[in-house]
Amino acid sequence: MTNVRSLICSFKTQFTVIFFALSNKALAEWEDLNMTQGATAISREVYDLHMLIFWICVAIGVVVFSVMFYSMYAFTKKKNPVAATFHENTKVELAWTIIPFLILIAMAVPASKTLQSIYNDEAGDVNIQVVGHQWYWQYRYLEDDVNFYANLSTDQDEIYNKVPKGENYLQEVDEIVVIPVGKKVRFLITANDVIHSWWVPAFAIKQDAIPGFINTAWTIVDEPGLFRGKCTELCGKNHGFMPIVVKAVEQDEYDLWIKEKQSAAIALAELTEKDWTAEELVARGESLYITNCVACHGPSGAGVTGIFPALAGSDIVLNNKARQIEILMEGVQGAAMASYAEKLAEVDMAAVITYTRRSWGNAEKGDGEIVVPKDIVEYKQNKI
């Protein structure tokens, strides 16, 4: 008897556990399908608006389709052989004009309120200029003189299915944007070449980045966390490969990070003074080449016929050091090649040029001359 009882009891518990597991799972899946609630007051407001308008639509749908299906059922030719002869009904027409009007107003009021607070472009505690480039984002912390570029850090082998894909496939970058929690962070969004769009769903920010315009967006994040986003305006062949990662941290951690960034910039500038050997430059240049150049010129320097010139066996890369420096510093007028003068420090510029001159058999075919950071400094001085 006790055995049966305990059996029933355990069945009951198991049933309850399974039931709850199922409903939790169903709930979690629904949350995945639905719009995110995000991590800020504004994003929750946007979510609530979305749900409010969703349920209004559901209610309207129920009413309209009920009337429609009821009429189809109740007034068939069989049940209602003599057609009605009336036409026009001013009362009904007035009702179906005024009611939708009132519904629209009822939706517009809360929506406009939220829009108004979204478009508040007063200065933040932290102001970050966000610049879209083909195909990476640049971030400049206006108060702290911190400037960096966030490139996709997913391995090319993952993209080309040579190795299994990581958890954050195409959603990871080499430099994360760090912001303090509980502070107003304002983003000043623009672009350098073509139209991009800076989208972080958790902040309910999706703002076009247009060259020559500065669009603003702002956020106050409550809890520390890592938030991911993407570029959402077709901007060329690597549009799908310029993700956004924002990390919200406590104020003291943020201050520390800013200091680290500032001293890293100083350390990088000091590397210019060092005496570099060809091997050191090639070693430094390889990863820079992968981050900055592979997208167009390809992993083996072959380029894309008719669009992006090959670097392997190119006459400029083989024999014309001066012209190569000039191309990287100034870009090429009328071509996709942009200037890297701002993006790459002197030492990195020298390293990546040297890498191309020493790779893919270029060293044997050409003059094999390397470029050292001082060459870049010299170029800059001559230009002035």
Partner 1 sequence: MSAVIENHHDDHGHHGPAKGLKRWFYTTNHKDIGTLYLWFSFAMFLIGGAMAMIIRAELFQPGMQIVEPEFYNQMITLHGLIMIFGGVMPAFVGLANWLVPMMIGAPDMALPRMNNLSFWILPFAFTMMLSTLFMESGGPAAGWTLYPLLFQLLMRHQAQPSLYFLCILWEPHQ
Sequence-distant (6+) residues with CB within 8 A of 143 are: 126, 127
CB of 243 to partner 1, least distance (A): 13
Whichever of 81 and 306 has its CB closer to partner 1, that residue is 306
The one segment of 67-75, 80-88, 163-171, 276-284 that binds partner 1 by CB under 8 A: 163-171
Q: Which is nearer to partner 1, 136 or 257 (CB)?
A: 136
Residue 304 interacts with partner 1 (CB under 8 A): yes or no = yes
Among 224, 240, 303, 313, binds partner 1 (CB under 8 A): 240
The conformation of residue 371, written as its DSSP 8-state character, comes to -
Judged by beta carbon, residue 41 or residue 336, the one nearer partner 1 is 336
**Which contiguous run of DSSP H or E holds residue 200?**
strand 196-200
CB nearer to partner 1: give 230 or 284: 230
Q: What is the 3-state secondary structure (H, E, C) of 254-290?
A: HHHHHHHHHHHHHHHHHHHHCCCCHHHHHHHHHHHHH
Binding to partner 1 (CB under 8 A) within 314-343 occurs at 334-336
Largest interatomic CA distance in the chain: 101
* Residue 161 falls in which region: left (phi positive, over 0), alpha (psi -120 to 50) or beta: left
What per-residue string of b and e applies to 94-109 under the rule 16 or more CB within 10 Å gives b? eeeeeeeeeeeeeeee
| Distance, CA of 79 to CA of 117 (rounded, Å) | 56
Is position 235 an interface residue for partner 1 (rule: CB under 8 A)?
A: yes
**Shortest distance, CB of residue 162 to partner 1, whole angstroms?**
9
Shortest gap between Cβ of 196 and partner 1 (angstroms)?
A: 10
Phi, psi of 34 (to 5 degrees): -80, 170
Q: Quick one: tokens of 131? A: 């610049």
Rule CB under 8 A: say whether 159 interacts with partner 1: yes
Number of helices (H), then strands (E), belonging to the chain: the values are 12, 10
Instruction: Determine which residue in the list 50, 237, 247, 365 makes contact with partner 1, applying CB under 8 A.
Output: 237
Interface residue with partner 1 among 211, 225, 299, 368 (CB under 8 A) is: 211
Listed ranges 16-24, 79-87, 235-243, 262-270: which one lies at the site for partner 1 (CB under 8 A): 235-243
Give the Cα separation of 159 and 240 in Å (integer): 11
**Cα four-point dihedral sign 371, 374, 377, 383:** negative
| List 12, 25, 113, 165, residue binding partner 1 (CB under 8 A) | 165
Q: Which stretch binds partner 1 (CB under 8 A): 87-95, 118-126, 153-161, 311-319?
A: 153-161
CA–CA separation, 174 and 227 (whole Å): 14
Q: Which residues on adjacent β-strands are paired with residue 88?
A: none
The DSSP H or E segment spanning 228 is: strand 225-231
Collapsed DSSP state (helix, strand, coil) of residue 213: coil
Given the complex with partner 1, which of 114 and 156 has the nearer CB atom? 156
User: Quick one: which of 158, 240, 164 has its CA closest to 196?
Assistant: 240
Angle between helices 346-358 and 373-383 (to 10 degrees): 120
383 is a contact residue toward partner 1 (CB under 8 A)? no
Rule CB under 8 A: choose which of 35, 107, 111, 170 binds partner 1.
170
- Tell me: does residue 158 bind partner 1 (CB under 8 A): yes
What is the enclosing helix (H) or strand (E) of 318? helix 315-319
169 counts as binding partner 1 under rule CB under 8 A: yes
Closest CB to partner 1 among 195 and 363?
195
Told to check if 184 binds partner 1 by CB under 8 A, we report: no
- Tell me which of 3, 90, 161, 382 binds partner 1, using CB under 8 A: 161
How many residues touch partner 1 under the rule CB under 8 A: the total is: 26
Q: Is 144 in the site for partner 1 (CB under 8 A)?
A: no
Find the binder of partner 1 among 103, 194, 316, 377 (CB under 8 A).
Answer: 194
Q: What angle do CA 22, 25, 29 make, to 5 degrees?
A: 140
Binding-site member from 97, 305, 381, 382 for partner 1 (CB under 8 A): 305
Binding site for partner 1 (CB under 8 A): 158-161, 165, 169-170, 193-195, 211, 233-240, 304-307, 334-336
